[in-house]
Structure 1
Amino acid sequence: MRVLLISPGKDEDYAKRVGFAFKFAPLGLATVASLTKPGIDVKILDEHVEKINYDDGADLVGISAMTAVAPRAYRIAERFRSRGAKIVMGGPHPSVLPEEALQYCDAVVVGEAEGSWQQLIEDFQSNKLQKIYRNAEPPSLIGLPEPRRDLYKKWTYFVKDTFQTTRGCPYDCSFCSVSGVFGKRYRSKPVEDTVKSIKFLKSGFVGFIDDNIAGNKRYSKELFRALIPLRIKWAGQSSVNIAEDLELLQLAKKSGCTALFMGFETVSQQSMGEIGTSKNKIEEFKSNVRRLHDYGIVVLGAFVFGFDSDDKDVFKRTVDFIYDAKIDLAQFTNLTPLPGTRLHKKLSQENRIIDTDWRKYDTENVVFKPAQMSVDELQNGSGWAWREFYSRGSIIRRLLGTRFDIIRLALYTVPLIIMNFGFKKVLDFETEARRRLFKKEKK
C-alpha cells in the first residue's frame, strides 16, 4: 500500500516563486506520516518546494488545506481521483467545511489527526472507508511518535527542524480559526519529549510553530529551562506580553531565543476590542519591543488592516508606529473572514462579504465591505504599507540602525537581511499572483 501526503501551494508553479526565507518544513504531514503503521510506503510532497507527480501510483492520497489553497487542493484531488486513488482531506478548511470538501474527496479528517488517522487507515485496508473522521475529544500530546522528518525533501527548507509543543488557544480572536480547529484549552507535549527530539536531530536551530510559545507561562518556563543546556538557537511565535514577565523573558533568552513573531494586530485600542484582546495595551507595545531588543530578540510584528474602527489614515499610522517602535520586520494583512470564525459569522449576518472565491482568502485580497473606506482603499492602503516598509531605502535605513558587532552580525543582522529581502520577494510574488487572478476573471 502506498500513501502520498500533500501540502498544496497556491498553484503548480508556486515552488519556483516563493522565497527560500519562507519555506518551512511541513511538520503536520510528518506527524501524520508517523501515525501510519509500519509496512505502508509513505511519502510527503510539499508543493512549496517541488512539483506533483500525478503518476506516483499512490493508493491513498492525503491533502491538507488552508482556506486560500482549498481550490488548488480540490483540483489536485480530482486529478488523483481520475487515476483511481482514494482521497482524504484534512486541515483547517476541510475541518470547518467537510461537506464542501467531500464533493472532491472520499473522506475528511475533521480536526487533529491523532486517533482518526489510524482508524482511517484500518478502514481503508478493510474497504470500509467512512466519509467523516473526528475525535470525540482533542487528543493528548503525551506519547506521540516522532514525526517522520526523514521524508522531507533535503536542502529545500529555510527552517527544517520545526517543533510543536502545545496546541489550543483560549483567546478565540474574532478572525482566527485556531481555537475552532484545536480547541480553547492548552494541551502540552511533555518537555522531556521535545528535548529528546532536539538532541536526536542534533539541531543547532529550531523553529517552534506553537501559536503562542508563551501562552502557558508555567509550561513555557519549564521548557525554556530544559533547553538551556542544549545550547541551541530558536525562533517562535508569542504574544506581545511575554516581555512583561521578566523571568520568562530571561529564560527565553538563555534558552536560545533569537526571534519572535508577534501578533500586534493593530495600533488602535478600539480595534483590540473588536478582536477580543482588549487586555493588550497599545501604550505598552513600544516598551515591550525595547525590552525584547535589550535581550537581543528580533521582533517580527503582524498587523491587520480593515477593522470597523480603521479609517483611511490607519496605514500611515501603523507604519509610523512600526518605525517609531523599531520593530525589525513587519507583516501586513487584510482582515479576512475565514469560515468557522466569529468574524465570518458577523460579516455574513451583515451581508458584507462580497467574494466567496476561496483563493482570495489569503489575507492579501479584500473580500468584504470595510466600514470606513472602500474596498479599493483598503486594498491599496495595505499594498502601500508593504511597499513603504520593504522599499530598498527603508530596509537599508532600518538595518543601519542595528548594532554591528561580530556576534550580532552573525545572529541578528545577516538573518534580518535575508528576511527583509525575502519579504520583498513575497510582496512581488503576491502582487503578480493577484494580477493574474484578476486577469483570469476578466476573460
Structure 2
Amino acid sequence: MRVLLLYPLFPKSFWSFEKALELVDRKAMLPPLGLVTVAALLPQEWEFRLVDRNVGDLTEADWEWAELAVMSAMIVQKEDFLHLIQEAKRHKVPIGVGGPYATALPHEAADADFQILDEGEITLPMFVAAVQRGHTQGVFRSDGVKPDVTGTPIPRFDLLNFDSYDSMSVQFSRGCPFQCEFCDIIVLYGRKPRTKTPQQLLAELECLYELGWRRSIFMVDDNFIGNKRNGKLMLRELKSWMASHGYPFRFNTEASIDLAQDQEMMDLMVECNFNAVFLGIETPDEASLTLTQKFQNTRDSLAESVDRIIRSGLRVNAGFIIGFDGEKKGAGERIVRFVEQTTVPLAMFSMLQALPDTALWHRLKKEGRMREQGANINQTTLMNFVPTRPLQDIANEFVAAFWELYDPERYLDRTYQHFLKLGAPKCPGSRVRKLNWVNMRALLILCWRQGVVRKTRVKFWLYLAGILRHNPTVWEHYLGLCALNEHFLEYRQVVQTEIEAQLSEYLATETGLQILPSLEEEKVGEAIAS
C-alpha cells in the first residue's frame, strides 16, 4: 500500500515566523510530529511519502503514486484541510483524516472516506483492519478510552526533510491535570497525564541523533510538569544521555506556572539544556482566572513566579487572553503592563475563543451566546461568542495592546532586560554554535535592519554591547530573539487590518455602525517605516 501523508497549510500566525525563518533559510518552525507518529503506527510494509504543504509542493505525481492518503490537522489549518479532501476525491484517492480538528468537529470532515478520530494508538488499528478487509469508508473512535503511550513507537523521523525545519519535536506526555474552562487539551487527551518511559524518549532522541539532527527540539507536551514524578525520572536519565552525547540538542517546552514552586524540576531542566518554557498566564486579573477555573495561576504571585523561573535559567514565553466574562475595561493595558514588568519577550496574545466541546463551549451554548459554531485560535479572528462587555471595546483593546507589545523599541527593551535577568547558561551544552555562512548572513541582515535602517538603531547597538559586557555567553540566544521581531513587525499590521475589517463587518451586521479607528492613522505608516 502506497500511503501519501498530507499536512495542510498553516495561515500566517503568531508562531509562523516567516520573516525570521527566511533569515536562516528555513521554511517552517516545526515538523508534523503527529503524522510521522501515524506512519510509525501503520503497517511498516506499507510505503510512505510525506508532503508537508508548509515546506513543499503537492504534485500530480504524488497523487498518481498514492493508493491511499492520510491527513492530520489542527483547527487553524481548516481551509487547506477541506481543500485537500476535495483534491483527494478529484484524484480518486481514498483519504482518511484525523487529528485535533477532525476529532473536535467530525461533521466538518464528513466528506473524507475515513475518519480516524481520537488518539491513533487505538483508532489506527481499526482503520487498517477496515482497509485490509476492503472497506471504502468508516468512522473510528476510541469511545473515551485513552491509550497507554508506553507502547507508542518511535516516530518515522526519516520521512522528514530536516533542512526545512528550524526545530524538531518530540512528545513525552499527553494530558493536563488542571481544568481551565477554555482549554481543549483536557477534552482531547484527558486530565490524567500519561507519559512515555525515559527509555522511550531517549530512543527517539537517539534516532534523531543518528539521523544527524543537531539543533533545537521542542517537547510538545501541553504541560510538561503534569506528571512531575515521571518528568523528574525522565530528566535524570536525559541528563546522563545529553552529557554522554556532547549536548547535541537544546530543548524548550510548555508548563504550568506552578513550575516556579519546584526548584528541583527547574534545575533538572536547565541541566538537560532546556533554555525556554512557555507559560499559560492568560491574564493578570485574578477574578478572570478564578472564573475560568485556572486556579493554579491564583495561588502565588504571577510576577514573582515568572521572575523565579527566569532567574533559574529558563527564558519565559507566555500566553495571554482578552475577553473573559466579567472582565473590566482596560484589560489590554493591564496585560501590556504585566508583560513589560516581567520582561517577557514573546507574549502570545489572543481574543478568547470557545473551542469545540470545552466547558466554555458548552456553557455558552446553553446560555445562547455562541455567534458561530466554528472556532479559530489565530490572532486574526474575532471572538466566536457574545462577550459580557462590548465586542468592539475588546477588539480595539486587543489591537492596541498587540501593537504596543510589538513596537520594535519596546520589544528590544523587554528582550534586553530578560537576558540580563536570565544570567549565564548553567549547562555545559549551552556553548555558542559554530557560525556558518547562513548564520553569518542572517546576523549581517539583522544588524543592518535593526541597527542601521530602523528607529531601533541606537538601542540595538547599546543593548548588544550591554549583553556582550554583562552576559556574553547568551549573545547568540539574545540575537535570535531580536530576529523574531522581524516577524512581529509585519504581523502586528496584519492583526490590526484583519481584526478591524471583521469588526466593521460585525458592527454593520449587528448594529449598522462602523468601527472607529483603534489606532492613530500615522501608526500604519510607522509600522513600515520602523
SS across alignment from 1:119: helix
Residue aligning to 1:268 = 285
1:73 to 71, 81, 93: 81
Whose radius of gyration is greater, 1 or 2? Answer: 2
Query: Contact 1:15–1:51 at 8 Å: present in 2 too?
Result: no
Residue aligning to 1:163 = 170
Shift of 1:436: 8.5
SS across alignment from 2:62: coil
Shift of 1:115: 3.3
1:221 to 200, 213, 232: 232
SS across alignment from 2:128: helix
What amino acid does structure 2 have at the position aligned with 1:114? E
Q: Distance in 2 between matches of 1:222 and 1:425?
A: 43
SS across alignment from 1:385: helix
Shift of 1:85: 1.0
Residue aligning to 2:32 = 26
Residue aligning to 1:179 = 186
Shift of 1:200: 3.1
CA deviation vs aligned residue, 1:384-419 (integer Å, no higher than 9, x gap): 222111111112222332332321112x31232133
Shift of 1:198: 1.3
Q: How does 1:321-340 map to 2 (within 5 A)?
A: 321-340=338-357
* 1:406 equivalenced with 2:483 (yes/no): no
Q: How does 1:246-265 map to 2 (within 5 A)?
A: 246-265=263-282
Q: Assess, with a 3 A threshold, how the Cα gap between structure 1 residues 317 and 255 changes in structure 2: closer, same or farther.
A: same
Shift of 1:330: 0.5
Q: Distance in 2 between matches of 1:191 and 1:43?
A: 30
* 1:146 equivalenced with 2:154 (yes/no): yes
Q: Distance in 2 between matches of 1:125 and 1:148?
A: 22
* 1:288 equivalenced with 2:305 (yes/no): yes
Q: Distance in 2 between matches of 1:428 and 1:235?
A: 28
Unpaired runs of at least 5, structure 2: 22-27, 421-466, 509-530
Query: Contact 1:265–1:304 at 8 Å: present in 2 too?
Result: yes
Deviates more, 1:248-257 or 1:55-64: 55-64
Query: Contact 1:7–1:46 at 8 Å: present in 2 too?
Result: yes
CA deviation vs aligned residue, 1:271-294 (integer Å, no higher than 9, x gap): 111221223227511111211221
Query: Contact 2:356–2:374 at 8 Å: present in 1 too?
Result: no
* 1:193 equivalenced with 2:200 (yes/no): yes
How many residue pairs match? The answer is 437
CA deviation vs aligned residue, 1:161-201 (integer Å, no higher than 9, x gap): 21100012232321111111112211110111111221332
SS across alignment from 2:281: strand
1:384 to 387, 393, 400: 400
Shift of 1:438: 8.8
Residue aligning to 1:427 = 492
Q: Distance in 2 between matches of 1:198 and 1:110?
A: 28
CA deviation vs aligned residue, 1:345-398 (integer Å, no higher than 9, x gap): 11122222223455x5535422222112x2222222212222111111112222
Q: Assess, with a 3 A threshold, how the Cα gap between structure 1 residues 191 and 380 changes in structure 2: closer, same or farther.
A: same
Q: Distance in 1 between matches of 2:155 and 2:41?
A: 8
Q: Assess, with a 3 A threshold, how the Cα gap between structure 1 residues 153 and 437 changes in structure 2: closer, same or farther.
A: farther
Query: Contact 1:266–1:304 at 8 Å: present in 2 too?
Result: yes
What amino acid does structure 2 have at the position aligned with 1:294? R
Q: How does 1:2-17 map to 2 (within 5 A)?
A: 2-10=2-10
Q: Distance in 2 between matches of 1:394 and 1:174?
A: 32
Residue aligning to 1:64 = 72
Query: Contact 1:67–1:338 at 8 Å: present in 2 too?
Result: no
SS across alignment from 2:152: coil
Deviates more, 1:48-57 or 1:83-92: 48-57
Residue aligning to 1:105 = 112
Query: Contact 2:20–2:484 at 8 Å: present in 1 too?
Result: no
Q: Assess, with a 3 A threshold, how the Cα gap between structure 1 residues 179 and 16 changes in structure 2: closer, same or farther.
A: closer
Q: Assess, with a 3 A threshold, how the Cα gap between structure 1 residues 188 and 199 changes in structure 2: closer, same or farther.
A: same
Residue aligning to 1:314 = 331
Shift of 1:27: 0.5
Residue aligning to 1:351 = 368
SS across alignment from 1:142: helix
Q: Distance in 1 between matches of 2:61 and 2:393?
A: 46
SS across alignment from 1:368: coil
Q: Distance in 1 between matches of 2:337 and 2:299?
A: 14
* 1:122 equivalenced with 2:138 (yes/no): no
CA deviation vs aligned residue, 1:30-84 (integer Å, no higher than 9, x gap): 1001112123221222222233335522222222222233243112101211210
Give the TM-score taking structure 1 as reference length: 0.90
Residue aligning to 1:208 = 219
What amino acid does structure 2 have at the position aligned with 1:43? R
Shift of 1:433: 6.0
Q: Distance in 2 between matches of 1:273 and 1:74?
A: 37
SS across alignment from 1:121: helix
Residue aligning to 1:416 = 481
RMSD: 2.8
SS across alignment from 1:279: helix
Q: Distance in 2 between matches of 1:388 and 1:54?
A: 45
Q: Distance in 1 between matches of 2:142 and 2:172?
A: 20
Q: Distance in 2 between matches of 1:139 and 1:356?
A: 29
